[in-house]
Amino acid sequence: MNPDSHAAAAASFLRDAERTGWHDRAIWFVRQKRDIAARSVPEWEELRGLASAIKRHTMSHLALYLEAFERSARRNGVTVHWARDAAEHNDLVLGILRARGARRLVKSKSMLTEECRLNPFLAGNGIEVVETDLGERIVQLAGEEPSHIVMPAIHRKKAEVAALFHRTLGTREDPDPAYLAEAARQHLRGLMASADAAMTGVNFAVAETGAMVVCTNEGNADLGAHLAPVHIASMGLDKVIPRTEHLGVFLRLLARSATGQPVTAYTSHFVRPRPGAELHVVIVDNGRTAQLARDDFRESLHCIRCGACLNTCPVYRRSGGHSYGVTVAGPIGAILAPGFDLAAHASLPFASTLCGSCADVCPVRIDIPRQLYRWRQIAVASGQVSWSKRVSMRLLGATLASASRYERAGRLLRRLLRRVPRLIGHPALDPWSRSRELPVAPEESFREWYRRERRTR
């Protein structure tokens, strides 16, 4: 598609300089809370190492643990479904809802269902879908996509939420967060009490027990699942972990990395259906096994969706989640999305300075910059970047491979910079010069000086 799509969307976000600063600071504040939380755990680095090792082990025995999870879940009375892709997932969910005559579905936050575009699919099939996570409900009412995997409405200011609620829920236009949260609570309670079915995501699926662990701060997953006669949990097949004891590693890392909380307010273990109710789990591939087969990118499946890499990313904070054009934005999204569709998302691996902050903040130590670098090589090799960029890199490579060509080119560059900086630095021709001055070129390069002064060749 458009190889510059992230850059263009980011430039549009950045046009509002004041808002960009607000967005950057709001998200940096979360990163700082994460730092404090991480430092409160002396064995933090040991936990990261353990988490990484558990994930690596699980991914190298994925079939074994998925089948073990399926057996355990079935033993508990859970109905287990497998979906190859988003379409199969959506059909399965619709089938379950139709079989029960369900009209209204309440959902807690699930990035997988966003990835599968479940909501528009269900709406098109006559199902009313109600997001019950506050942030998700805000973006749903606004007709937007989440801009962050943990804080879906982080791009919206209080006053904008007040205006939205005033318009959609009939509240008074009061930006007081307590008032707005209470209004959302009252609005959602009624919808949850009368829901025909509930959906949740799954943070961790424990193979040995069949438990599906869901972490929320609002208790909406529990309320939805415990009130409705049918609970459908959607999980990516990367969510399985071998044993309950491994939760002791991941749960200590997840909330601290995500928001700086020691643990989420609710950590719900859904094990078996209530008497008279149904519990389903849909295990979804949707490109994950293809990623597992890629040596360079397998590690991206270790992600526990804490969002820390988004919060720390200087590019994400200044370009907003929507600029990525995918459900999972930020650095992790930039290494996941090309695996789904390289042509559509070829600009994302380039939406980074490779500063490496994402790798250092990642609770499961995914080497994101290394994978960004690898995706860039693949994007260029498979012709997914512009012709002009490919040609200029080939020319640059040919120039720099020879000392004499390099020296001639260097002299020419310096002469041009000295004589016609305004031409080279014209904003229309040179994006650098839109907001930065070009360097002042010296008369003499270092090597010219060296030859003259030191008389060596």
Partner 1 sequence: MPARIALFVPCYVDQLYPQVARATLELLERHGLDVDFPASQTCCGQPMANAGAERDALETARSFVKAFAGYDCIVSPSGSCVYHVRHHYDVLEQTDAVRRVRGRVYELCQFLVEVLHVEDPGVAFPHRVGLHVGCHALRGLRLGTSSELGGRPGGPMRALLERVEGIELVGLDRPDECCGFGGVFSVTEAAVSARMGLDRVADHARHGAEVITSGDVSCLMHMEGVIRRQGLPLRVVHVAEILNGAAL
Cβ proximity to partner 1, 229 vs 410, nearer residue:
410
Rule CB under 8 A: choose which of 16, 45, 46, 245 binds partner 1.
45
Cβ proximity to partner 1, 12 vs 60, nearer residue:
12
**Size of residue set near partner 1 by CB under 8 A:** 77
Cβ proximity to partner 1, 284 vs 308, nearer residue:
308
Pairing label, strands 204-206, 212-216: antiparallel
DSSP 218: S
Rule CB under 8 A: choose which of 242, 390, 421, 424 binds partner 1.
390
Helix (H) or strand (E) run with residue 47 in it: helix 44-60
Cβ proximity to partner 1, 193 vs 429, nearer residue:
429
Which two three-digit tokens encode residue 129?
A: 């879908």
Cβ 236 to partner 1, closest distance in Å?
26
Q: Is 393 one of the binding residues for partner 1 (CB under 8 A)?
A: yes
Distance CA 215, CA 207 (A): 18
Cβ proximity to partner 1, 163 vs 409, nearer residue:
409
Residues from 309 through 368 that contact partner 1 (CB under 8 A)? 312, 314-315, 318-319, 349-357, 359-361
Cβ proximity to partner 1, 214 vs 359, nearer residue:
359
Distance CA 35, CA 330 (A): 19
Q: Is 16 one of the binding residues for partner 1 (CB under 8 A)?
A: no
Q: Binding string, 396-435, against partner 1, x = CB under 8 A?
A: xxx-xxxx--x---x--xx---------------xxx-xx
Cβ 15 to partner 1, closest distance in Å?
8
Q: Are 253 and 53 in contact (CB under 8 A)?
A: no
Which spans in 170-268 are helix H? 177-193, 220-227, 247-258
Q: What are phi and psi of 282, to 5 degrees?
A: -110, 115
Distance CA 278, CA 199 (A): 12
Name the one range near partner 1 by CB under 8 A: 178-186, 213-221, 294-302, 442-450.
442-450
Distance CA 154, CA 6 (A): 19
Q: Are 130 and 195 in contact (CB under 8 A)?
A: yes
In SS3 terms, 332-372 reads as: HHHHHHHHHCHHHHCCHHHCCCCCCHHHHHCCCCCCHHHHH
Q: Are 22 and 159 in contact (CB under 8 A)?
A: no
Residues from 276 through 315 that contact partner 1 (CB under 8 A)? 312, 314-315
Q: Is 178 one of the binding residues for partner 1 (CB under 8 A)?
A: no
Q: Are 42 and 224 in contact (CB under 8 A)?
A: no
> What is the side-by-side strand order in the sheet with 128-131?
79-83, 278-284, 230-236, 197-200, 104-107, 128-131
Cβ 375 to partner 1, closest distance in Å?
8
Q: Is 227 one of the binding residues for partner 1 (CB under 8 A)?
A: no
Q: Is 10 one of the binding residues for partner 1 (CB under 8 A)?
A: yes
Cβ 8 to partner 1, closest distance in Å?
9
Cβ proximity to partner 1, 319 vs 327, nearer residue:
319
Rule CB under 8 A: choose which of 394, 408, 418, 419 binds partner 1.
394
Which two three-digit tokens encode residue 104?
A: 């209204």
In 237-336 the beta strands, taken as DSSP E runs, fall at 240-241, 266-270, 278-284
Q: Binding string, 22-41, against partner 1, x = CB under 8 A?
A: --x---x------x--xx--
Which two three-digit tokens encode residue 261?
A: 């909380």
Cβ proximity to partner 1, 234 vs 323, nearer residue:
323
Cβ proximity to partner 1, 207 vs 351, nearer residue:
351
